[in-house]
Amino acid sequence: MTTVTCDITVSTDGYAAGPNQSLQNPLGEGGERLHRWMIEQPTENAAEIAAILESGAYIMGRNMFGPGRGEWDNEWKGWWGDDPPYHAPVFVLTDYPRAPLTMSGGTTFFFVTDGIESALEQARAAAGEKTVAIAGGASTVRQYLLAGLIDELRLHVAQVVLGAGEPLLEGLDDVKLHEVSTTENELVTHVTYRVVH
């Protein structure tokens, strides 16, 4: 069975995005500070960055793909420009159908309207022997954790306090995590958990 992983960055107070997410602030107010470790220290965090990008397929929520709600604006092709970083199939959870969107570099976005299990089944088929990654955002990660469908959770805890925003682990009291490893530097602590099913 394909391993399902999740990499997500949170603040030290547990938020995966700041408050008031918008087109201008896709990660919410102050949320861009969460990812300083990737931008400012790519060499120090090379192993963690490589692990994020080695999956054979990805799943994300609609909010991670774009700011819209309701019917699609077909001009919108994601936050990442013409060459998204995934270079693999990406399955976007949505209530609104949309034709697949093929981008440069091997990324194709598929829009899944029939739930998280269907998206995972399609991602497993696409990934082959590689892992499937739940890319985010927080709501999508919570759904997969609650359903017992994530095997490994890799939290990247940024040395940032947001004070408000979208909490990652809220309402997950019954989810059991077993710590496997921890590494850290001055910007981030990387903690890998095995999710106990």
Tokens for 99, please give them.
């034709």
Helices (H), the chain: 36-40, 46-52, 62-65, 116-127, 138-146
Q: Answer yes or no: are the C-beta atoms of 158 and 9 closer than 8 Å.
A: yes
Q: What's the rounded Cα separation, in Å, for the pair 48 and 35? A: 12
Model's pTM, two decimal places?
A: 0.94
Burial group, residue 179, by CB count within 10 angstroms (0-12, 13-18, 19+): exposed
Where are the chain's structural domains?
A: 4-16+25-68+82-196
**Cα–Cα distance between 161 and 139 in angstroms, integer?**
20
d(CA 185, CA 61): 30
For each of the chain's 197 residues, which pLDDT tens digit applies? 789 999 999 999 999 999 988 888 888 999 999 999 999 999 999 999 999 999 999 999 999 999 888 899 999 999 999 999 999 999 999 999 999 999 999 999 999 999 999 999 999 999 999 999 999 999 999 999 999 999 999 999 999 999 999 999 999 999 999 999 999 999 999 999 999 97
Query: Which has the closest alpha carbon to 191: 39, 59, 12?
Result: 12
Q: In Å, how far are 64, 79, 115, 117, 155 from 121, measured between CA atoms?
A: 20, 25, 10, 6, 24
| Six token digits for residue 100 | 């697949």
Is residue 3 exposed (0-12), middle (13-18) or buried (19+ Cβ within 10 Å)? Answer: middle
Residue 67's pLDDT is what? Answer: 86
Q: Say which CATH topology domain 4-16+25-68+82-196 has.
A: Dihydrofolate Reductase, subunit A (3.40.430)
Neighbouring residues of 150: CB distance < 8 A, sequence distance ≥ 6: 4, 5, 6, 134, 141, 144, 195
Q: Is 148 helix (H, G, I), strand (E, B) or coil?
A: coil
